[in-house]
Amino acid sequence: MSTPAQDTVASGAFSLGHCLRAWQALAAEADAPLAVLEAESDVTGAELAALSRILSKLRSILEDVYKARITIPSANTVAACLEMLENDYQLKETIVRTMECEQPTAAHVATFRALWRVQPYLDETVLGNAVTAMEK
């Protein structure tokens, strides 16, 4: 299965906006398994597997944007986005790995869910400006 970045790179028309929308959709998709984990007293394999799959897809998008950066004229514009996405990915990875290794309480999972949702490393203004610059 290809990622949004692979699709746009393969077609010769890389779209940072498409990749960022896919990132946001995947981040939102994680809310369902996080909500289940928050409501239950123990972490189950199904929800962790779902989060791991989402994390893997996020990593694929990130890697594809890194690859595409080499071939696009606005590499500096994309660099700021990449740094934000990398930081956001690392936060999400830490959340998933912590839940895999430990038995988090409902309060822990509620905190993890809030951190996942808020995406503190993503600056919508910078991302929007980068997309605008790329589409000129």
First to last CA, the chain: 30
Q: Which two tokens stand for residue 119?
A: 């995406």
Contact 113, 34 (CB under 8 A): yes
CA 94 to chain centre: 12
DSSP 86: H
Tokens found for residue 117: 């949702």
Give the long-range contacts of residues 55-60, CB within 8 A, separation 24 or more: 55/89, 55/92, 55/93, 55/96, 57/3, 57/26, 58/23, 58/26, 58/27, 58/89, 58/92, 59/89, 60/3, 60/5, 60/6
The span from the CA of 43 to the CA of 37, in Å, is: 6
Amino acid letter for position 97: R
Structure pTM? 0.80
pLDDT per residue, tens digit, the chain (136 aa), is: 555 444 544 445 668 888 899 999 999 999 999 999 888 866 678 899 999 999 999 999 999 888 877 666 666 777 888 889 999 999 999 999 998 888 888 888 999 999 999 888 888 888 887 777 766 6
Q: CA–CA separation, 61 vs 38, rounded Å?
A: 27
